[in-house]
Amino acid sequence: MDAVRWGEPLAAVRVIRRSLRDAWDALVDVAPINLAWAGLGLTIVLLPPATAALFESMHELASGRSPGIRDYIGAVRRRLVDGWAWALWSAAGLTIVGVNIGLYPDLTDLRAWLSAVVAVIGILFGVSVLYVWPLYLLQPDGGLLRAIRNSILTTLAAPLFAVVLAILLALIVAIGAVLILPIVLVLPGLICLVASHAVTDRLRAWGKIPPRPLTEEGD
């Protein structure tokens, strides 16, 4: 068990590497979908379903299929209600974390520890938010509530993996903030792709889904 636990950081690195490779190989498919997401997001009203649909398209890519712009638009229509429910859940959780961090502005002694604990909880919650849609798409039934529950359990079952994954994603976002073009063309979809690969990686590690083909084991 300890070996598996300490192997989680390396697994997170492999997930990032696999996601970067897949996004680059499918750039012709990923870029138009990201541009569509950006355009729909400007409406604000369509941002949550557009983001949920982006997760769905990147899940298709992670599964070895080529996502199309027409399929993406169809997913936006399907995810209107669930997308907003997920967005409200995410906003509520992150707001609670932010408020609690603000309660301990004096970084001394116990307050510093409490701030650190709340920050880690916030990171884990943020990762669980990313896990929701990949789990939703993998589960046979149960809807969004079950996916949210499973996302929390998945995050808590591999907290070190989740923290390392969050740090690596933060580095990618920081680099993307300097390079404007990747933000528009790749970054949103890449984050969704990382979430899909991360969920399948953990489920495979726990024997919940079949292992990857031998031809892909070296990725």
DSSP classification of residue 212: P
Average pLDDT rounded to a whole number, residues 31-54: 96
pLDDT tens-digit series, residues 52-63: 999 999 999 999
Band (119; pLDDT cuts 50, 70, 90): confident
Calpha distance 198→86 (Å, rounded): 19
The answer to whether residues 58 and 75 touch, using CB atoms and an 8 Å cutoff, is no
pLDDT tens-digit series, residues 88-110: 999 999 998 888 766 655 555 66
Does residue 111 register a pLDDT over 80? no
The answer to whether residues 54 and 72 touch, using CB atoms and an 8 Å cutoff, is yes
pLDDT > 70 fraction of the chain, expressed in percent and rounded = 86
Mean pLDDT over the full length of the chain:
88
Does residue 6 register a pLDDT over 90? no
Among 162, 182, 192, 204, which residue's Cα sits nearest to residue 56?
192
